[in-house]
Structure 1
Amino acid sequence: MKSAAFEYRRAASIEEAMTLLGEEGVFAKPLAGSQSLGPMLNLRIAQPDRLVDITSISELNSVSDNRDFVDIGACVTHADVEDGRIVDASMGLLAFVARKIAYRAVRNRGTIGGSLAHSDPAADWVSALPLLGAKALVVSPKGERVLPVKSLMVSSFVTALERDEIIRAVRVPKASPSARWGFTKFNRKAGEFAHAIAGVFHDPETADFRVVIGAIETAPIVVEDASFLFGGRFDSDMHERLDDNAVLMLLKEKNVDDVYVQQLAITALRRAAKQAGMK
Structure 2
Amino acid sequence: MKPAAFDYARPADWPAALALLAGGARPMAGGQSLGPMLNLRLAQPERVADLRHLPGYAGVEVQGEAIRIGAGTTHAAIEDGAVPGRLGAILAGVARRIAYRPVRNRGTIGGSLAHADPAADWVAVLPAFPGHAVALGPYGERRIPLARFVTGVFETALAPGELLRAIELPVLPETARWSHWKFCRKPGEFSKATACLLALPDAPPRLVLAALDTAPLVIEDATGLDPAALVTSISDPWRRRLALTALRRVLEGAA
TM-score tier by shorter-chain length is over 0.9
Residue of structure 2 aligned with 1:96, choices 93, 98, 101: 93
Kindly indicate whether residue 235 of structure 2 is the aligned counterpart of residue 211 of structure 1. Answer: no
SS of equivalent to 2:223: helix
- Distance in 1 between residues matched to 2:204 and 2:108, nearest whole Å: 27
Alignment of 1:1-279 (within 5 A): 1-23=1-23, 26=24, 28-88=25-85, 90=87, 92-205=89-202, 207-229=203-225, 243-249=226-232, 252=233, 256-277=234-255
Gapped regions of structure 2 (runs ≥ 5): none
Q: Report the counterpart of residue 238 of structure 1 in structure 2.
A: none
Give the TM-score taking structure 2 as reference length: 0.96
Q: Distance between the aligned counterparts of 1:88 and 1:101, measured in 2?
A: 21
Name the % identity: 47
For residues 89-108 of structure 1, the C-alpha deviation after alignment (integer angstroms, 9 at most, x for no partner) is 52621111000001000000
| Partner deviation per Cα, 1:168-207 (whole Å, 9 max, x = no partner) | 10001111111101000100101100000001110114x1
The one-letter code of the counterpart of 2:213 is: E
Q: After superposition, what is the alpha-carbon deviation per residue over 1:89-135, rounded to whole angstroms, capped at 9, x for unaligned?
A: 52621111000001000000000000011000000001111111221
Whole-Å separation in 1 of the counterparts to 2:105 and 2:2: 23
**In structure 2, distance between residues paired with 1:208 and 1:176:** 15
Q: 1:160 offset after TM fit, Å? A: 1.7
Distance in 2 (alpha carbons) for counterparts of 1:44 and 1:91: 37
Q: CA RMSD in A?
A: 1.3
Do the aligned residues in 2 keep the contact of 1:119 with 1:153 (CA within 8 Å)?
Answer: yes
Amino acid aligned to 1:273: L
2:104 and 2:48 map into 1 onto residues whose CA distance is: 21
Q: Are the counterparts in 2 of residues 69 and 89 from structure 1 also a CA contact under 8 Å?
A: no
SS of the equivalent of 1:79 reads helix
From the superposition, tell whether residues 175 and 6 of structure 1 become closer, same or farther in structure 2 (CA, over 3 Å). Answer: same
Count of aligned positions: 255
Separation of aligned partners in 2, 1:177 and 1:89: 6
Encode CA deviations 1:6-47: one digit per residue, 9 max, x unaligned. 111001111110011112xx3x21111000000000000011
